[in-house]
Amino acid sequence: MRRLRLWPLAAGLLLLAGLWLGPLAEMARRAFSPHMILHLGVMIVAAPLIVIGGLRLFPGGLAPRYRYLGAVAASVYDFAVVWGWHLPALHEAAARMNSAFTVQQLSFLTAGLALWWICLAGRDAKSDAAGALAMLFASMHMAMLGVLLVLAPTLIYAPQFCLGAFGLDPLPDQQLGGGLMALFGALPYAVGGAYLASRLALQEA
């Protein structure tokens, strides 16, 4: 029974292996929408599964005095990782160099793990409040970056790193990637933040 409770951890690790060892990783270095699918798969699917499984294995939460500091730190780190790796210079460096790509992917994973752990490890009302704010901030900045990519009238990245995928030309492919971020990147955080806010409201009632 205990092993069955750890299925999210196993699923998250298997998903990471599939994302990083499968064809998507190489596609992500040549076209933008595969990059975004890989990015979102790591941060909003694999990371929360690993956190849920990890909390079942090690249920201890963050010390109360660190709950707000931890939420702020995780939010700032998440923002810096997401926006930083989508700056043209860093995005193109990850496409060119194996070392930069490895650092990029590990930073996506650690940012996702930190944010989801801060938000899901809470054991009291103040922890839920801190988690809700962190989730809603992540939702807003992911949506904002996604919309900017969708509305960009020209390619943001060098053509050799934005070749297009799934039958799309480079610019529509970039716009598809932005749309995926705006919708599927922001929605899980918005839902998570709303859930924590509703739980907080019930505790305060």
pLDDT tens digits for 123-143?
A: 777 778 888 899 999 999 999
98, containing H or E segment: helix 98-120
pLDDT confidence tier of residue 204, bands split at 50, 70 and 90: low
- By the 10 Å C-beta count (0-12 exposed, 13-18 middle, 19+ buried), 167 is classed as exposed
pLDDT over 60 (residue 1): no
Tens digits of residue pLDDT in 35-81: 999 999 999 999 999 999 998 887 766 666 677 888 899 999 999 99
pLDDT at 12: 96
Q: Which residue has the higher pLDDT, 93 or 6?
A: 93
Please say if the pLDDT value at position 203 is more than 80.
Answer: no
Q: Which amino acid is at 19?
A: L
Helix (H) or strand (E) holding 5: helix 2-5
Residue 58 is given by DSSP the state S
Check residue 56 and give its pLDDT: 84
Q: pLDDT per residue over 165-199, tens digit each?
A: 888 999 999 999 999 999 999 999 999 888 888 87
Give the model's pLDDT for residue 162: 83
Task: Report, as an integer, the average pLDDT of 146-170.
Answer: 90
Two structure tokens written together for 136: 């809603």
Helix (H) or strand (E) holding 143: helix 125-151
The helix or strand, by DSSP H or E, that contains position 37, with its residue range, turns out to be helix 32-40
Separation between Cα atoms, residue 187 and residue 172, nearest integer Å: 22
Tell me what pLDDT residue 97 has. 94
Mean pLDDT of the region 14-36? 95
Asked whether the predicted pLDDT for residue 32 surpasses 90, the reply is yes
**For position 205, what pLDDT does the model report?**
55
Mean pLDDT of the chain: 90
Residues 6+ apart with CB under 8 A from 73: 114
d(CA 55, CA 123) in angstroms, rounded, equals 12
Give the Cβ contact number of residue 89 at 10 Å.
Answer: 9
Give the pLDDT mean for 77-88: 97
